[in-house]
Amino acid sequence: MTRFPILLLDYDGTLAETQPAILRSLTEAFGASGIAAPSPEALRQELTRGGTLQTLFQAMVPESDEDDAAAFVRHYRTFYPKADAEETVLFDGVVESLNALKEKGKILAILSNKHAPTVCASLARFGLTSFFAGVIGSEPNFPHKPDPRVMAERVLPLFPQRSRSEFLMVGDTAADLQFARNAGIASCWASYGHGSAPQCEALQPDLRIDAFSGILNIPL
């Protein structure tokens, strides 16, 4: 019997190398907001948390308010599509591995803190949409990882009558692994992604892969 028939896959840093496009768009969005952009190193450090654009901006500009954050997010989303098209690439072996997982009968879904329309557009550009039974991204007024309500309110409604024991969260940051712990599901750390190794290792993921293709070599 298969251990995990349903795989919840993060996108940034798990399926795709999006960090160059993200850093470029963040820098442009800070400039458009009239704020000196933090250094690339500071931005990379904040990205290890795996949060949303709002949480990143408010962490970097603690004196800001909700309106400031909303304006920053609007600027970012104006810049990101061009940067994504020019700089984002899939990690090696992603398409082949997704094909192999589907052939094994796995049900795949995206669970990302990336803006839902943005992740859907990126998936479509790479021809990945058909692999996934659902795409859950960041949307206004909905919880995001690591909030356990994501499981109850956003994931389980897509898969009625499924037990939490049937799910495996595959992601690269502490937000992914903490979400899995909070939600009571198993976790697999994508160690090659954007996360902080000390933070992720401290969360004691159930499984680990050092390349996306490694998912074919672990007990699923």
Amino acid 51: pLDDT: 85
Range of the domain at 148: 6-17+90-217
Q: Are residues 82 and 98 in the same domain?
A: no
Query: According to the 3-state scheme, what is the secondary structure of 63-115?
Result: CCCHHHHHHHHHHHHHHHHHHHHHHCEECCCHHHHHHHHHHCCCEEEEEEEEE
Q: What is the pLDDT along the chain (220 residues), one digit of tens a residue?
A: 469 999 999 999 999 999 999 999 999 999 999 999 999 999 999 999 888 999 999 999 999 999 999 999 999 999 999 999 999 999 999 999 999 999 999 999 999 999 999 999 999 999 999 999 999 999 988 999 999 999 999 999 999 999 999 999 999 999 999 999 999 999 999 999 999 999 999 999 999 999 999 999 998 8
Residue at 1 is within a domain: no
Q: What is the pLDDT of residue 50?
A: 87
- Are residues 129 and 83 located together in one domain of the fold? no
Write b or e for each residue in 116-145: b if 16 or more Cβ atoms lie within 10 A of its Cβ, otherwise e. bebbbebbeeeebeebbebbbbbeeeebbb
Same domain, 115 and 181: yes
Q: Please give the pLDDT value at position 140.
A: 86
Q: Provide the domain count of the chain.
A: 2
b/e map of 184-200 (b: 16 or more CB within 10 Å)?
A: ebbbbbbbbbbbbeebb
Kindly state whether residues 110 and 154 are assigned to the same domain: yes
**Same structural domain for residues 79 and 165?**
no
Query: H-helix or E-strand containing 121?
Result: helix 116-125
Q: Where are the beta strands (DSSP E) in 129-211?
A: 134-138, 167-171, 186-190, 207-209
Residue 123 lies in a domain: yes
> Of 69, 87, 105, which one is at a domain's C-terminal end?
87
